[in-house]
Amino acid sequence: MKKKPGSCVQCGKCLEVCPLFKATGREELAPRSKFFLQSLDDEEGLSEKDFNALASLCLSCGRCAENCPQNMSGADFVSGLRSDSGGFLRSCWNLWLKSPGLMWPLASALSHLSSSRMPGAFGSARRKMDALFADSPEPWAALDVEKKFEGRKAVLFPGCVARYSRKDWTQKAEKFMNDLGFDILDYSGFTCCGSSMGSAGLLDVQNRARINNIRFWKDSGMPVLVTICATCLKGLADYSPDDFESDADYENWQNSLKPLSALLIGSAVKYGENAPEKVVYHHPCHAPENDSDELLVQQIAGERLSPVRKDLCCGFGGVMQLGAPELSRTVGRHCLNELLGDGSEKPQILSGCSACVIQLASLTDKDIFAGHWLDILN
């Protein structure tokens, strides 16, 4: 059973893992500073406006909660704060997530009116849009997949990026599901997993998304629910028992969640002549400790894979893309520099989280590829 949070004792354990603090050295961005400011009387602390602005600077990575002896979560604190305060940025993020089929292509088209070399938010937005709608590279590996699930019904939960911009990921995922023997059902009734909505404080929107996804899954006969994004997997796994009509439905939901990578581990691998000399895997903040994406990449890359680090955050941060893009880029560049080392080699960077892929791809030079592990597979 999950323990209830206590009170911040200012121990500083969150400083050891907070990506914003590690990349900037600014302690006011760390969780313990926000909890401390919250505890002050109005006359002692910041104005409400300044406090809200500072306290909302959070990447929602969840690392602090994992390291906190009091089970306090900066991400949960900021989500509640954002929910209470509302604001223009939250409305924009809601629109961005609510209508991706319309907003994302429109934003991509408008971003191309600017140059990716422009400084600040305009250049960053252009690079993000380029990464969001990037073409797939030439694959360099193929899997000989065994039909282990013949006749079982399954539905893909592609996530927003694979569904609305990187549709090639969806096509490849369903191909692999077919190779595994699944009877594949239509996924069109799903909406966003709700993870990004929750971190932005859009709690009512998140709740509606959860109710919709559960209803569609039940109406589909409660099939195996296959995911290809680590954040979506966590978002779906975080659904509460209160979201379900019965404990049995909740248990079936949890048991139905299967990352595609876990189903492909053990498949024989064939390599193309264009296989890279070096591969780097970025472990997403929201990936489980036993990360099947990492295990699959390890199986495919073999000796090409550099030692995997689990202490790095890409800095995407959801709504921070609108509210504090420069902080997001600072954390992302710190992550990228750590992944690439001295820069003498040009590895391929792979991950299993859609947001991490977009963030890292927008920060890399053109001679370094950053993408989803599906990108490298035929």
What's the rounded mean pLDDT across residues 272-281?
96
82-99 burial, b for 16+ CB within 10 Å, e for fewer?
bbebeeebbeebbebbee
pLDDT score for 194: 96
List residues bridging with 157 in a β-sheet. 227
> DSSP E strands: which ranges in 252-352?
257-259, 268-271, 279-281, 348-351
What's the rounded mean pLDDT across residues 107-122?
66
pLDDT score for 125: 77
164 Cβ neighbours under 8 A, 6+ residues apart: 100, 101, 104
List residues bridging with 141 in a β-sheet. 271, 377
Three-class SS state of 46? coil
What's the rounded mean pLDDT across residues 14-28?
95
Task: Evaluate if residue 114 carries a pLDDT over 70.
Answer: no
Three-class SS state of 8? coil
Closest Cα to residue 79, out of 197, 239, 242?
Answer: 197
What's the rounded mean pLDDT across residues 6-24?
94
Contact by Cβ (8 Å): 344, 114: no
What's the rounded mean pLDDT across residues 323-331?
93
10-39 burial, b for 16+ CB within 10 Å, e for fewer?
eeebbbebbbbbbbbeeeebbbbbbbebee
Q: Is the dihedral of CA 83, 89, 91, 97 positive or negative?
A: negative
What's the rounded mean pLDDT across residues 203-208?
96
CA distance 349 to 363: 12
pLDDT score for 3: 53
Task: Evaluate if residue 40 carries a pLDDT over 90.
Answer: no
Q: Output the DSSP codes for 140-184.
A: -EEEE----STT-EEEEE-HHHHHHT-HHHHHHHHHHHHHTT-EE
List residues bridging with 224 in a β-sheet. 154
Instruction: Kindly list the distances between the CA atom of residue 44 and the CA atoms of 54, 78, 170, 252, in Å, as whole numbers in the listed order.
Output: 16, 21, 53, 50
Three-class SS state of 132? helix
Report pLDDT digits (tens) over 293-320. 999 999 999 999 999 999 999 999 999 9
pLDDT score for 1: 43
Task: Evaluate if residue 126 carries a pLDDT over 90.
Answer: no
Report phi then psi at 153, rounded to 5. Answer: -85, 140
Quote the Cα angle for 357-360-362, to 5°. Answer: 105
pLDDT score for 115: 57
**Residues above pLDDT 90, as percent of the chain:** 74
Mean pLDDT of the residues in the chain: 91
Report pLDDT digits (tens) over 146-161. 999 999 999 999 999 9
Task: Evaluate if residue 117 carries a pLDDT over 70.
Answer: no
Q: Is the dihedral of CA 64, 70, 76, 77 positive or negative?
A: negative
Closest Cα to residue 206, out of 221, 220, 192, 218?
Answer: 192
8 Cβ neighbours under 8 A, 6+ residues apart: 31, 32, 35, 36, 39, 70, 72
**Residues above pLDDT 70, as percent of the chain:** 94
**Cα 72 vs. chain centroid, distance in angstroms?**
21
Closest Cα to residue 372, out of 321, 273, 297?
Answer: 297
Confidence of residue 360 (pLDDT cuts 50, 70, 90): very high
DSSP-derived pairing of the beta strands 153-157 and 141-144: unpaired
Confidence of residue 50 (pLDDT cuts 50, 70, 90): confident
pLDDT score for 135: 86
**Cα 365 vs. chain centroid, distance in angstroms?**
22
pLDDT score for 43: 61
What's the rounded mean pLDDT across residues 224-239?
98
The more confident residue out of 179 and 344 is: 179
378 Cβ neighbours under 8 A, 6+ residues apart: 139, 141, 142
Task: Evaluate if residue 17 carries a pLDDT over 60.
Answer: yes
Three-class SS state of 33? helix
Closest Cα to residue 358, out of 116, 45, 93, 127?
Answer: 127
What's the rounded mean pLDDT across residues 91-107?
89
Least confidently predicted of 27-41, 150-164, 192-206: 27-41
Contact by Cβ (8 Å): 356, 234: no
Report pLDDT digits (tens) over 131-149. 999 988 899 999 999 999 9
Three-class SS state of 66? helix
Confidence of residue 248 (pLDDT cuts 50, 70, 90): very high
Tracing tokens 């030692």 back to the chain, one arrives at: 307
The more confident residue out of 5 and 263 is: 263
Q: Which two tokens stand for residue 88?
A: 């223009």
pLDDT score for 45: 60
